[in-house]
Structure 1
Amino acid sequence: MHRRPPSRTARPARVLASALATGALLTCAACSGGGGSNGGSAGHDSASDVAASPLAAESPLASPRTGMSASPRAEKSAAPVLTPAGAKAALITEADLEDNWTQVKGAAGWGDKLVIGKVDVADFLTARTNAADCQKLLDALYDDTLLGKPTGASALTGFEESSSRLLYQVAAYDRAKLGASLNWLKTLPVKCDQFTATDSKGGHRTVQVIEDPVSSVGDARQGLQVTVTGTSGNEPTTLTLQLAVVRVGTDAITVTSGGLDGIESDTTKAAVQDGTSHLKDVLAGRTPPAQPDNLD
């Protein structure tokens, strides 16, 4: 397999729940298209949706949206609804990531114990309401619910490379709630730039959140980098996670990658760009093309 020259801030993926000092977790996904805000900005929910293709009405991957308007003309232009088969078809594969990433089963059970903790409200002397947002972030990282619970079809998959992990999810959401979730993520680098969390044994962990630009794809997007510094087995431990969310209409992909070795931005970027393209194909009623492994 052809390997992309390493470009590392560190290495990407997501830490496994069972091993405090191993893996990395990452959540989900990607979408394609244009418009929306630039860079890491979440943009506004008023960005244009992907128009329904004539193929979508006949495809098992996306079905026409119904009950949206009494006007036949409006119905025809409504965005298609992602089906379970479509969500699965929109997932990325090992070929999208290149390098030595291996697709694994059981990704739905991943969880990173380093992000489990109770936020120290004392860190927020003048903005105590921000503590609730930071707690929500930690809980969402563990549960893989950065965008809340899907309201429609969803699918996820996971990949490993050494001790790094990457979680990829694609799902359909309520439009208003999806826009609110993206806007919420956008506020976290300010609200939760640095805070302390306490684990069940009284250990303290320092959490830092910064904005991390996402490729200009989809209708809206937001990226974050979260660093958790604590101990594992009485040894200093640092978990670094790269989060990328992209909206296409009322669907979105979420990618969470990272681990104890850091992050690899090139891998996250590939997951976002290829995943967005796959989702765009599915919503247009097309099956994403198979991507054969590259040869050395």
Structure 2
Amino acid sequence: MTRPSRPARVLSSALAAGTLLATAACADESGAPEAVSVSAAAERSPSPSPSATPALTGAGAQAALITPADIENDWQVATDAATWRNSMLIGKVDVAGFLTAKSDAADCQRLLDGLYSDSLLGRATGASALRGFTSEDSRMLYQVGDYGSADVDATLDWMKTLPEKCNQFTATGQDGGKRTVQVVALEVPKAGDAREALTVTVQGTAAGQPSTFSTDVAILRVGASGAAVTNGGLSAVDHDSTDRAVQAGAQRLKDVLSGKTPAPLPSQWD
């Protein structure tokens, strides 16, 4: 797959930090940048039969997280990823703009809300973990957890419909300003058992200045476990990093579920 070279990032980090990025309080009182949790329901579940898909443990979820070595370039591990929120993704979808399929507006609203809250995969039924990375004014969040194969597949089926349902729509931001949102399908490596990906672009204003926020969002499944990658910023998205995260994440998850210790993938991107 041919991708354009990594784009230069020219917008000041002050605008990104001061205007577009709002943070929410972290639920982890320890302040740790990475969160792993196992639900009570998962702990009560009987052990799977030898033929069943292995369940993801807390330690396994942590081991399945990608590392800077997996995605290369100049990505650095962040210390506040659990609190990330981007105010450009806050908006109420203009239902009146959906002339013949008003029900599609609900799907577009779900997309915006899920991107803002990093909850597109829903609630994990077992162990889960997350890790964030920064590179200049871009941020990548990688989440992995036991979500159940049926639920992940339902999310993948839903995502597949969005480039048609939500190709372009208007949303109203907190300040009353109009934002144009575009959703297009994104091709990513054939990794894991199933996967879907999109690129979402939001154009509007911030501090009275025109602003554009773009992000890739990719979801993949391995067995009953799922992983989500969001990678975006105020300049053009680095799709190569999204590809690496998807491919490395799927392999690490597969290794963990097979009882192996994951290692960074050898470079295939030079």
5+ residue gaps, structure 2, are 23-42
Write the mapping of 1:110-189 to structure 2, written as runs, cut at 5 A: 110-189=84-163
In 2: Cα distance, 1:226 partner to 1:189 partner: 10
Q: In the alignment, which residue of structure 2 is the partner of 1:109?
A: 83
What's the TM-score once normalised by structure 1's chain length?
A: 0.75
TM-score normalised over the length of structure 2: 0.82
Q: Hey, what's the Cα distance between the residues in 2 that align with 1:104 and 1:96?
A: 15
2:239 corresponds, among 261, 265, 268, to 265
1:165 aligned counterpart, secondary structure = strand
Name the counterpart of 1:198.
172
**Could you tell me which residue of structure 1 aligns to residue 60 of structure 2?**
86
The offset of 1:266, in angstroms, is 1.0
8 Å contact 1:150–1:173 — kept in the other structure? yes
CA distance in 1, matches of 2:256, 2:16: 32
Distance 1:95 1:67, change over 3 A: closer
Q: Distance in 2 between matches of 1:9 and 1:211?
A: 20
Q: Does 1:20 align with 2:23?
A: no
Shift of 1:244: 1.1
Residue in 2 that maps onto 1:213: 187
Question: What residue number does 1:230 align with?
Answer: 204
Which position in structure 2 is the counterpart of 1:7?
5
Q: Alpha carbons of 1:10 and 1:145: their partners in 2 closer, same or farther (altered >3 Å)?
A: farther
Contiguous gaps of at least 5 residues in structure 1: 24-62, 69-74
| CA RMSD, Structure 1 to Structure 2 (Å) | 2.5
- Supply the distance in 2 between the matched residues of 1:118 and 1:274 (Cα, whole angstroms): 35
Retained in 2: the 8 A contact 1:157–1:169?
Answer: yes
Identify the structure with bigger relative contact order (alpha carbons < 8 Å, sequence gap 6+): 1
The 1:277–1:206 alpha-carbon spacing in structure 2 relative to 1, beyond 3 Å, is same
Matched length: 240
Does the Cα contact within 8 Å between 2:20 and 2:86 map onto a contact in 1?
A: no
